[in-house]
Structure formats: C-alpha cells, structure tokens
Amino acid sequence: MDWALLDNEYNAGLVQNYSELIAVRLGNPEMFVESASFASACRASDWNNGRWLQSRADGKELLTVVNPNTTGVLTLTFDFLSKDNADYQILSKSYGSEPTFNATNGTVSVEGNCYVVIGSKGLSAVKAIGNDDARVNSYNGMLEVSGMDGGFSVVSIDGRVLYRTADSNGTVALPQGLYIVAGQGHAIRTMVR
C-alpha cells in the first residue's frame, strides 16, 4: 500500500466514506436484522429514478439514496417517521457532495453520481477517522489494538468483518493488507505488513 495515495484528497475522501459506512453498519446492528422493516427501489431498468433503501426498527430510521445518473440533481420523496428535520442527521455522503433532506416535506436531493445515508439522531456514526484514546499498531503480520472501549471489529476494505471482540484491547494475526478497526464511533485505518 502506498500511503502517499492518501495525500490525494479524493483518495482520502473515499477512505473516509468507507469508514463512515462501516461505522454505520457496525454501530447500528438493529437496523440490519430480519425483524427490521425494509423498503427499497433498486430496479436495474430504471436508472433515471435513482436507488434507495430504507430500514426502520425500534422507532429509528435509516435511509440510503443513490443517484446513479452522471449529471443533475435527483430529488426523491419519502414518508419520514418524523416530520422534524432536527430528528435526523447525515451519517455519510459522497466526498465533496452536498445532499439535502427535508423531513417536513419528505424530500431528499442528491447530486449525480453520489449517495447519502440519513439516519435518526439515535443512530451512531463516526465523525472522523482516528481517535486520541484508541491506538492501533501493526508489525510482522500482527495488528495490536488498545483503548477501544466497548470492543472493536477489524474490517477488510471490502467491508467483511474479519474479527470482533468485546474487549478493549487485543492482538490479531492478519495477512498483509489495508484494514479498518472500528468500534464505538471510532474508525482507524491501518496497514498490516
């Protein structure tokens, strides 16, 4: 891995997107279980109307909207659980994009070739890569994690959870590669050599 690639703002933005999405998935398991309510529109023959996935559970809501069109802004309408904008937050969005939502009138707008994930305020999300309390070191095929209160997961760059523990500290043997260590609002990227 050439870490200098992350000096490019778009590459760094992509890593940030992966970190946010992994944190949403790992931090909100109740939104992905069989008992959650799901609705979607992902028709292959209807690109112009975008793609969306909505999950509801325990009075919370998670909405992902994708505009696969290469240009233009796509605005879709939804029936939000709450009509109060203050009850929602953007958990993740395409780097450099400025999606908008209005729960009162039930709209979400996304620029071309971009996505947005909107969630109820009760859902957890990562705010930035890295954390002063958590430490991740790698050496000789080992990944050493400390200070991850509440436990942590080691996730491959393609989103597979490779290791999970409730312990705050741990050492994991892994093949060479890029990984994200996620837990309790933290997402730290690391390279195992």
Domain at 93, CATH number: 2.60.40.1180
- According to the model, what pLDDT value does residue 188 have? 82
Burial class from Cβ neighbours inside 10 Å (0-12, 13-18, 19+) for residue 82 reads middle
Range of the domain at 167: 135-192
Average pLDDT over residues 61-82: 95
CB 90 within 8 A of CB 99: yes
| Residue scoring higher pLDDT (184 or 63) | 63
CA neighbor of 67 nearest in space, from 24, 25, 97 = 97
Q: How confident is the model at residue 189 (pLDDT cuts 50, 70, 90)?
A: confident
pLDDT in tens, 13-55: 888 888 888 888 877 889 999 999 999 998 777 778 899 999 9
Average pLDDT over residues 174-187: 83
Q: How confident is the model at residue 128 (pLDDT cuts 50, 70, 90)?
A: very low
- According to the model, what pLDDT value does residue 186 have? 74
Q: How far apart are CA 167 and CA 145, in angstroms?
A: 10
Same domain assignment for residues 98 and 48:
yes
Same domain assignment for residues 63 and 110:
yes
Domain at 170, CATH number: 2.60.40
| Residue scoring higher pLDDT (133 or 82) | 82
Tokens 């590669």, located at residue: 177
Query: Residue 1: is its pLDDT beyond 60?
Result: no
Q: Is residue 19 part of a domain?
A: no
Average pLDDT over residues 7-16: 85
Count of domains for the chain:
2
